Structure 1
Amino acid sequence: MFSAPVVVAACFALASTWAAANFLFRKTPWGAKGKHCVVTGGSAGLGLALAVLLAKEGAHVHIVARNQERLAAALRDVEAARQSPDQVFKTYSYALDSAKEAEACLDAVSAASGGRCPDALFLCAGKSRPGFWVERTEEELRECMEETYWVQAWPALAASKRMVRSGVHGKLVFTSSVLGYFSMVGYSPYSPGKFAVRGLAEALQSEFLLYGISVHIAFPGTIFSPGFAEENKVKPKITLRLEETDVGSAPAAVAAHVLRGVRNGRFHITYDFIGNVFRCSSRGSSPGNGGLVDQVYVMIGMIGLPLWRRDVDKEVRKHTEEHYDYLRSKGLVQS
Structure 2
Amino acid sequence: MGFPSWASVIVALGAATVLAIAGDFIYSKLTRVPFKAAGKHCFITGGSTGLGKSLAVQLVKEGADVCIVARRVSELEAAVEEIKASCLNENQKVIYISADVTNQKDVVRAFDEAKVKMGRNPDFVCACAGASYPKFFLDHTMEDFEKLTTLNYLGQAYVAHQAAQRMRDSNIKDGKIVFVSSLLGMISFAGWATYSPTKYAVRGLADTLRNELKRYNIGVHIFFPGGIESPGFETENLTKPEVTKIIEGANTPQTGAECAKSLMKGLHQGQYMIVTDALSEVLRCVVRGVGPTNNLVLDYILAAIGQPLGSAFALYADYVVKSAKYDK
TM normalised by structure 1 equals 0.88
Matched, 1:122 2:126: yes
Quote the residue 2:211 is aligned against. 206
**Which of 190, 198, 201 is the matching residue for 1:193?**
198
- Who is 1:77 aligned against? 82
- The correspondence for 1:294, drawn from 288, 291, 299, is 299
Percentage of matched positions with identical amino acids: 37
> Partner letter of residue 305 of structure 1?
G
Specify every segment of 5 or more residues in structure 1 that has no aligned partner in the other structure, as ranges: 2-9, 328-335
Kindly report the root-mean-square deviation, in angstroms, between the aligned alpha carbons of the 2 structures: 2.3
Give 1:28 shift.
Answer: 7.1
CA separation of 1:229 and 1:43: change in aligned 2, threshold 3 A: same
Amino acid at match of 1:18: I
- After superposing the two structures, state which structure 1 stretch, 218-227 or 59-68, moved more: 218-227
- Contact 1:219/1:269 (<8 A) preserved: yes
Q: Check conservation: 2:76, 2:96, Cα contact below 8 A.
A: yes
Instruction: Tell me if 1:50 matches 2:33.
Output: no
Q: Is the 8 A contact 2:135 2:192 kept in 1?
A: yes
Q: TM-score, normalised by structure 2?
A: 0.90
Residues 234-254 of structure 1: CA distance to partner in whole angstroms, max 9, x if unpaired? Answer: 111111122232343211111
Match of 1:138 in 2: 142
- Please say if 1:65 is aligned against 2:34: no
Residue 193 of structure 2 aligns with an amino acid whose one-letter code is S
Quick check: 1:18 aligned with 2:25? no
8 Å CA contact 1:205, 1:215 repeated in 2: yes
Q: Which residue of 1 aligns with 2:165?
A: 161
Contact kept in structure 1, 2:23 and 2:296, CA below 8 Å: no
Partners of 1:274 and 1:225 lie apart in 2 by 22
Q: Distance in 2 between matches of 1:89 and 1:138?
A: 39
User: Are the aligned partners of 1:280 and 1:298 in contact in 2 as well (CA < 8 Å)?
Assistant: yes
Specify whether residues 268 and 21 from structure 1 end up closer, same or farther in structure 2 by C-alpha distance, changes over 3 A only.
Answer: closer
1:252 aligns with 2:252: no
The residue that corresponds to 1:40 in the other structure is 45
User: Matches of 1:308 and 1:242 in 2, distance apart?
Assistant: 9
SS at match of 2:192: coil
The 1-side partners of 2:73 and 2:193 are apart by: 31
The Cα of 1:108 is off from its aligned counterpart by: 0.6
Find the residue that maps to 1:215 and give its secondary structure. strand
**Structure 2 equivalent of residue 307 of structure 1:** 312
- Encode CA deviations 1:103-142: one digit per residue, 9 max, x unaligned: 011001111111x210000111101111111122222210
Measure the CA separation in 2 of the matches of 1:109 and 1:20. 42
SS in structure 2 at match of 1:91: strand
The alignment partner of 1:167 has SS state of: coil
Q: Which residue of 1 aligns with 2:91?
A: 86
Q: For 2:44, what is the secondary structure of its paired residue?
A: strand
Unaligned runs of 5+ in 2: 4-12
